Amino acid sequence: MLFTSYGFIAFLAVLFVLYYLIPKRFQWLLLLAADIVFYACAGWKGLCFMAATVVVSWAATNLMGASLAKQKAFLRSDEGKALERAERKAYKKQCEKRRKVIFVLALVADLGILAALKYTNFLITNVNALFSADIAAVDWVLPLGISFYTFQTVSYVIDVYWEKVEPEKNILRVALFTSFFPLLIQGPISRFGDLKDTLFAEHKANFKQISFGLQRILWGYFKKLVIADRLLVAVTALCGDPATYTGAYVFIGAVLYAAELYADFTGGIDITIGVAQVLGIKVKENFIRPYFSRNIAEYWRRWHISMGTWFKDYIFYPLSVAPWLLKLSKSARKKISDGFGRKLSVYVSTIVTWFLTGLWHGAAWNFVVWGLLNAFFILLAEEFKPVSQRFRAKHERLVSGFGYRVFETLRTFLLMCSLRVLDCYRDVEVSFRALGTVFTDFNWGEAFSGALLQLGLTGADYIIAAVGVVIMFAVSCVQEKYGSVREVLWEKPVLCYAVFFVLAVAVLTFGAYGVGYDAAQFIYNQF
C-alpha cells in the first residue's frame, strides 16, 4: 500500500475516525489491527517473518527479565545474604552468563532472518564470481521494511539486556512496537523506551495536534509528489544511460538526485510523523536541515538521525571499548607510536560502523564503497582538524563571516552529491567513471542547449520543481532561525489556513501523478 495511493488515504481516514470513536483503552489494539492490515497488503509471507521476529524478541527479553528478577530476589533472601562474597560473585556471573546466552541467541535469530533474506543472493553472486561457481540465486521476496523493524527489535533486546528498559510482558504490545505502520517504510528507527509511553497511552482528540499532523502530512505529499517524483523522471533518464550522459549531465544528475532524495526521504518522514501526530503519538525527528551542514560529520548528525544514533550507540561505542580492540590499541602505542595507538580504536570502530552502514543500505558493493568513503572523509577531516583549528584561529574574522559559511555549506553539499553518485548508478566502476567525466568532458553548452528537455520533463516541469525546491529551502531557513513554522502560523489562523489551502491545491494541481507518471514508492522502502 503506497503512502501516495488513494487506498492509503482512505485507510488513514477510516483509522483516524475509528481511533477517536472507540473506547480509549482499545486504541492501541486498533493500531495493531491497522498494522496487520497494512502489512498484509504487502504480502502475508512478510507478515510471518515479522511475527517470528516479534516472538523471538518478546520471549528473549522476558527470559532475561525473569533471570534478572530471580537473581535479585535470591540475593535479597536470607539464603543469598548468607553467601560469601566470592560465592555471591560466582552466582551473579552464572546468572549473567545465562542471560548473555539468551541475548546472543535472540540477536542471531533476529539478525539471521534479515541476513538470510537480504544478503543471501549477494553472497551467492560474490561466491560465483570468486570461484567461477554456478550457484543458483534464491527466489526470495524481501519483506516490507525488514531492515527498519529488525533494527527496532534488536535495539529493544539490547536495551533490555543492558537494563535500560523493562521487558514488556504483553506480546501484543511488542508486536505493535515492531509493526507500527507509519515507521515501516523508512523509519525513523525508534527505541522502545522512546515510544512505549506514547504508543500505548490513551489519547483524546486534540484539535491543535490533529491540525499540525494533517499539515505535516500535506507538506510531505508536497515534497514527494510535486518535487521528488517529478525530478525522478529526469534522474532516471540521466542515470539510466551513463554512456550518453557524461560530464555536465553527471553533475546535473547528482544535484537533481540530491534534491529528489531529500524531498522523497523527508517527505516520507513528514507523512510518518504527521500520521503519528494525528493519533497523538510522538515520534522523534529524523532530519534537521542536513544541507545546511558545514562538514560531513555535521551532515550525518542532521541526516537520518535515528540510523546514525543506532549505529553509534549499538556498534561504534561498544566496539570502541571492546577489550580486544583496547588491547590492540595499547600494543600499537608501544610498538608504533603513542598518537597512532590512541586513535586506533576510534578509527577501526569508525570504519567497521560505516562498512555496516553501507551494507545496511543495500546488498551491493556500491553501498559498501559508499559507506567506506564516508568513513574515509570523516577520518580525513579528523586528521586535518588541528590544521583547521589553526586556520580558524588565525583568520577568525574570515571564518565567522556569512561568505565562509556559504563556502563550507556548498563544499559539504558537493561532497555528499559526489558520494551519492554511487547510489545513482548502483555500480562502483560506472560511478567512478561517470564522476571522472565531470572533469574531462566539457559539454555544458550541450547540456543547456535543450538536451535537458529530452529527459521526460518539460520546461514547465523544471519550473515547478525549481519553485518547489525554493519553497522547501525557504521553509528550512525559517526553521533554522525561528524553529517550528507550524507554531508560527498557529498564532495567525487566517495565514495558517491559507497556507494549508495553497499546499493542498499545489499537490492536487502540480503533483506528479496520473498520465505520464508512475507512482513511485519511497526510495528508502527498498531497505
Are residue 368 and residue 483 in the same domain, yes or no? Answer: no
The residue out of 374, 397, 426 marking a domain boundary is 426
Amino acid at 30: L
Judge residue 156's burial from the number of C-beta atoms within 10 Å of its C-beta, 0-12 exposed, 13-18 middle, 19 or more buried.
buried
Does residue 62 fall inside a structural domain?
yes
Residues 322 and 248 in one domain: no
User: Quick one: 336 and 242 in the same domain?
Assistant: no
Q: Are residues 317 and 392 in the same domain?
A: yes
Task: Judge whether 11 lies within some domain.
Answer: no
As a whole number of angstroms, the distance between CA 349 and CA 352 comes to: 5
Tell which of 187, 202, 217 closes a domain: 202
The residues, any chain, with a CB within 8 Å of residue 254's CB and separated by 6 or more, are 417, 418, 420, 421, 424
Please indicate, yes or no, whether residues 156 and 260 belong to a single structural domain of this protein.
no
pLDDT at 36: 92
Closest listed residue to residue 373, CA positions, set 359, 358, 390, 360: 358
> CB under 8 Å to 32, separation ≥6 — which residues?
172, 175, 176, 179
Considering the chain, what is the average pLDDT of its residues?
90
Residue 2 lies in a domain: no
Q: Which of 180, 202, 224 is where one domain is finished?
A: 202
pLDDT digits (tens, 9 = 90+) for 240-288: 999 999 999 999 999 999 999 999 999 999 999 999 999 999 999 999 9
pLDDT at 203 over 90: yes
Amino acid at 277: Q
Amino acid (one-letter) located at 431: S
pLDDT band at 451 (very low <50, low <70, confident <90, very high): confident
Confidence of residue 186 (pLDDT cuts 50, 70, 90): confident
Residue 277 lies in a domain: yes
Residue 110 lies in a domain: yes
What's residue 522's pLDDT?
Answer: 54
Q: Is the pLDDT of residue 526 over 70?
A: no
Number of folded domains that form the chain: 3
Quote the cell numbers at residue 111. Answer: 539478525
**Mean pLDDT score, 426-448:** 90
Nine-digit cell string for 336 = 608504533
The one-letter code for the residue type at 425 is: Y
Within 8 A by CB and 6+ apart from 205, the residues are 20
Residue 12 lies in a domain: no
Do 300 and 411 share a structural domain? yes
The pLDDT of residue 272: 94
Residues 459/452, Cβ–Cβ less than 8 Å: no
Half-sphere exposure in the Cβ direction for 264 (13 Å, CA): 22
Question: Same structural domain for residues 364 and 313?
Answer: yes
Question: What's the pLDDT tens digit per position in 54-75?
Answer: 999 999 999 999 999 999 998 8
The answer on 265 and 123 residing in a single domain is: no
Residue 216 has pLDDT above 60, yes or no: yes
pLDDT, tens only, 15-60? 999 999 999 999 999 999 999 999 888 777 788 899 999 999 999 9
- The arithmetic mean of pLDDT across residues 2-9, rounded, is 86
- Retrieve residue 523's grid coordinates: 526510495
The answer to whether the CB of 65 falls within 8 A of the CB of 170 is no
* Claim to verify: residue 302 and residue 397 sit in the same structural domain: yes
* Structure confidence at residue 495 (pLDDT): 85
- pLDDT higher than threshold 50 for residue 516: no
**Residue 401 CA: distances (Å) to CA of 62, 297, 404, 447:** 56, 21, 6, 34
User: How long, in residues, is the chain?
Assistant: 527
Same domain, yes or no: 354 and 462: no
Same domain, 228 and 274: yes
Let me know whether 180 and 35 are in one domain.
yes
Q: What is the CA radius of gyration of the chain?
A: 26
In a domain, 17, yes or no: no
In terms of residue numbers, what domain contains 374? 293-426
More confident: 403 or 483: 403
The verdict on residue 7 lying in a domain is no
